[in-house]
Structure formats: C-alpha cells, structure tokens
Structure 1
Amino acid sequence: MTIAAGTLFVVATPIGNLQDLTPRALQVLRDVSLIAAEDTRHSARLMQHFGIATPMTACHDHNERDKGQRLVERMLAGDDIALISDAGTPLISDPGFHLVRQAREAGIKVSPVPGACALIAALSAAGMPSDRFAFEGFLPAKAHGRQQRLRALLEEPRTWLVYEAPHRLLDCLRDMQQVLGAQRRVLLARELTKTFETLHAAPLDELVAWVAADADQQRGECVLVVEGAPEPEADEVSAQALHVLDLLLAELPVKRAARLAAEITGVRKNLLYQVALERGDGTAR
C-alpha cells in the first residue's frame, strides 16, 4: 500500500496582536504532526496562549539545510508539517526558503496559510502608491554597504520598503537623508499591531530630527516605506543615464555612444546625442 505524502503548510503568525492569528492557521497548527519553528522558545508562548500541544522542532538559518531533508522524509512518509517564523509570514526576511524548495523538489504539496506580514501592513497604511512596489529586505548593516545600496535605489520610481533593526534605525535614516535627499518622503512603521504602534510619515530631514529627539522611536521592529523617485520629465536625462553615457563616451564616438546609451537606458537617442555634444567640445567625432 502506497502512503500519500503529507503537506508542508507555510503558516503566517501574528507580528504583535495575537488575535491576528487566523482561524485556519489555528486549526492547521493543531492538526499537523509537527511544527517547524524559527525559535521554539519564542513560539512556545504563542502555542501556550492558544492551547496548541503540537510538537515543535527548530528550523532556522543555521540548521535549515540539514534539518530540511529530515523534515522532507517525514512528509514523504505521510506527516503534515507547519512552517512558522518568529512573527509574520515565513520566508519574508525569515528562514524557510531551503525547506520549501526541498519540499517542492521532492514533489510535496506546499500550501500557504496567509496572515500577518509587516511589510504589507505598513504599505497598506502608508498612503503611497502601492500598485507597484519593491521590497529590499534588510539593508547592509555597515554604513558603506548601506549607502551603496541606497545609491542603487536612488532613482527607483516605485514605492519601496526595507526592514531595519532599531539600533540601526537612526543611522539608516541619516544615510537615506544623505543619499536620497532631505525632501524624500519616508514612513516609519514601528511596532505594528502592538501597544505602542507608530506610523509617522515625513520628509527625511523632518523624520531624522523626529526620531533623533525621541529615543522611544528607536525601539522595536521597524519598517521604512520610501516614496519612489519622480519619473524624469520627457526632456530630462536621469543621473543613471548620464553615468552610462559618460562611460560610453570614454570609449566610443559620440553618435555610437548616444545610440548604445539609448538602447541601455530607454532615453531618446537624439536627446542623448545633444547631451553628449554639450558634455564634450560641441562637435561630433
């Protein structure tokens, strides 16, 4: 007799308010054979609150590859397993990717159980365009790497979001102010769904001063929602396009450099050609 494989349920858990655990998530956590948790000690409090007695095992960044294979073997033997992180939706800047990939490669059904997600919660209340957006996870912890990444995002036209640790929040905002400019609008969403929930939007010069003046705003889980860069005007060449053009001009004649820069950046060739002439000696070569 062939035993049907079990299912891996990817279960979202509350990011603060315990009442945000959905009825379906609650039922799944009670019914599965095992819960794979990022931190069993942390999740034990959630299980105790809801009277869930399902056994748990740790599945985190440091053991996920090895532990994943053993969990896959259990599911192939017929067990259902729930994957949870400390808070929110697993895999969203949390462990779980390797387990989910291993399960799918083994032909195991993976079923999402939606619920709380800090980035979506922040975006929904930010009052910024949300039809298209980008999520950057955590920026680099060191200032140099963080500033490099911010420069790469300088001209991103979509609303974009990052998570940030509270002890790095002020440094991160100051780097944003330096790279993105004082008037770029950013929303700080802090301690979402918790007692001291804060959602505060302001231009970066105001937001930096506000956070620096209140140590309480430098505590807890943080999401930063960043206003996208304005689209260039029809006859305006972006800094990125100018950079591409300058690199090409160093090696190629004006006409060819303008043509290639247009293909790379999408800016009109004639406009780039005129800009190239202005940046040179005014004559083509």
Structure 2
Amino acid sequence: MTPPCRVAAIPVGPAGPDPDALWREVEAGISEAAAAGAGLAVLPELTILPFVAGEDPARWRHLAEPADGPTARRMAALARRHRLALVFGASLSEPGEALPLNAALLAQPDGSLVRIAAKHRLPPPLPGERFGEADHFQSGPAEGRAVRVGFPGGVSLRVAALVCYDRRYPEAWDAAAAGADLVAILVAGPAPQDPPGFFTAELAGHARRCRVAAVAAARHGTEHILGRPVRHDGDSLVVGPGGHLLAAWQPDAPAAVISPLVIDSLPASVRLSLPTA
C-alpha cells in the first residue's frame, strides 16, 4: 500500500481593506501545516481578496495581478520556505483581456508556479444585487490541468482543482478528476442556503464517484458587502477517495485542517460497486 500523504486545508477569515492581517493568518496556517508534515496545503478562492461579486467591478479590477505578481511571488516564497506545495486563489490578469480570471494556482516546494484551474461557471448576481461574478471575471476554460506534487517519503500525487461554483457540476468533476488523484476545492462565497451537512455530502459523493480525494478550503467569519454583513461558513475538509470524511474544520480548532491520506485505500468491494468509464 502507498504510504500516507499528509494534506491540509487552511480556512482564513474574510479580507478587509488591509490584507496584512489576512496574510498573517495565511502564514500561520501554512506554518502549522508544514510543522505537521503536510506536503500540500489548500487555501480558499481569491485567497487574500474581499468577496466583491456584488459590488461595482470598476472599484476592484485594479486588484488583479499577473501570474508572476506580488501575491503569487509571496505564495511561492512561502512554499519554498516551508517545503510544501500550496494551492491558492487569485484574480489573474491576462494579457489583452479586459477581465481577469478567478484562478487556482499551485506553488511547488521549489517555488515554481503554475495555473491549474480557472472558474468556468460564473454564478448570476445574488437577489437584489446589481452585479455578479461575470461582471468581475471572464469565464475560464472548462478543463484545468493535473500537476504532480511530491510528498515526503518519495510519494507523489497528481493534483487538480475546482474553483467554488464549478464544484456543483458533475462534468466539472469528471474533467478535473481525469488524470488526478486529488481535487482541491477553493471556496470563498457567502454561506449557501443548503441543508446542514450538504457541502460535505456533495464533495464526498463526487470524490467517491470519481475515485479521487478532495481537499476543500473556505473562508470563515463575516465581511461587509454593500453595507450588509455576509457570513462565510468556513467549510474546510479532507475527504478520501472512498467518500469518507477524514477531517473537518471547527471554529475553535487550530488554523489548519490536517489529515493523512492514502490514495489507494479504496477497498475492492467499493471499487466493484462503482461505475467504470
């Protein structure tokens, strides 16, 4: 059996006008994950940016950065310093494009960077709001890419990603899981009106069907948008390829959700019960 890989989901609080406090929280979570032996840590969608989908995009477009911008370079430096891979979210400007991508990037332990996904499905404006995500971002490609990440002990996993709303679609999971062992789920939006436990069940069902592990990171806390409070659930968890919940964030828990993960742990009896391509 393949040795276990330790993975981490790092929920962070909502961003404010000054990102320094959020950076401190990000760095504390990464440090905790590295100290626990994690080889991969996942951060939320648009990791250090406010959730601004309902606001005038003209106020926020300047926050988009190129793939080698300040945020990406700082994440790459953290990955290098702590010797682990980081999946994080960013507003990624594209040459010649009016709107940025809502992207997931992967920083390897050597500091190299690659975009592994960009949000393809952009949800409409929330009730009563003038703007939606399509006013802020362009739609990304339907398919991302799986990138191999090395773990301590010589084990490696192929890592892909889905950005928030894309996780709702089975075909998005199919595309992400093709050639991947693990799908990172980056979430930032306000708490959806789903039944309690639905997020966990949703990810567990897709992970089991696609036979991949899932690591989800989300925001927690409350930020003020258009003069009203918007609550974030902080749903961050690790699910095994059999759909089993391995670890989940609690409000009074440490900064990172950390779990050992064995990719080939799906019992033969479970494999026989699942459809094959």
User: Fold conserved (TM > 0.5)?
Assistant: no
Q: Larger relative contact order (C-alpha < 8 A, sep ≥ 6)?
A: 2
State the TM-score, normalizing by the size of structure 2: 0.31
- Of structures 1 and 2, the larger Rg is shown by 1
Higher helix share: 1
Higher strand share: 2
